[in-house]
Amino acid sequence: MKKQVVASAAVGTVAIAIVAAQFWPSAEPAPTPTPVPSVQVAHREVYTFPDVANGRGWSFAIPVPAWPSDRVGEQATYTDPTGRLTLQTDRVPLAQEDPLSGLRALAKKNQDPGYHLTSLAEHAPVSECDAAEWDFTYQREGVTRQVRLVGVGTGDVLITIRYEAPQPEFEANQSVLADALDVEDAG
């Protein structure tokens, strides 16, 4: 009889604990979701070509996010506040037949640690300019990073737009690259 009373008391205690857990918040805080970086366009990264169009000049203006940036020569790198995502633009002087040939030349000499080619192919035109796309992954500090680099042919220069993120975050943040490729009326 005592065993039945003890067993009933134990079952009753568990039932009360389950009901109480439904009404009182847990002592452990809920995990916070990974913040999504703002991709609001802050300004445009402009590459000018003053010696074309009979001296009238020409420009290629890439929309870039309102993130901290760093510049080395023609290369501008924008890093989101979390430090996980980057958007990089550059003007690469390169004698090329087309953007795909230009990216192939870059791919041959720019292979990061743990480099793995995903694809290298033509891309839809960007502001009516021929383009190609180079996708790859590499390792940085033990993290697999995914890169999509779009090269836009502008005569004897390749304008590159590189989006990079840790592989698990790459797809969810592709709007960073999509916004940058929204170049209005280059020329």
In a domain, 34, yes or no: no
Mean pLDDT for back-to-back runs of 10 residues, the chain (187 residues): 43 41 42 45 78 67 93 95 96 83 89 91 92 96 96 87 97 95 76
Query: What is the pLDDT, as a whole number, of residue 25?
Result: 45
Length of the chain: 187
In a domain, 4, yes or no: no
In a domain, 147, yes or no: yes
Domain membership of residue 95 as a residue range: 41-180
Query: What is the pLDDT, as a whole number, of residue 76?
Result: 96
Query: What is the pLDDT, as a whole number, of residue 29?
Result: 43
Query: What is the pLDDT, as a whole number, of residue 130?
Result: 92
Burial 166-178 (b: 16+ CB within 10 A, else e): eeebbeebeebbe
In a domain, 108, yes or no: yes
Query: What is the pLDDT, as a whole number, of residue 10?
Result: 42
Beta-carbon contacts of 64 under 8 Å, excluding residues fewer than 6 positions away, are 41, 42, 43, 44, 45, 76, 78, 87, 89, 180
In a domain, 102, yes or no: yes
In a domain, 36, yes or no: no
Query: What is the pLDDT, as a whole number, of residue 31?
Result: 38
Query: What is the pLDDT, as a whole number, of residue 46?
Result: 86
Q: How many domains does the chain have?
A: 1
In a domain, 70, yes or no: yes
Contact 62, 161 (CB under 8 A): yes
Query: What is the pLDDT, as a whole number, of residue 48?
Result: 78
CATH number of the domain residue 79 falls in: 3.40.1000.10
Query: What is the pLDDT, as a whole number, of residue 97?
Result: 78
In a domain, 74, yes or no: yes
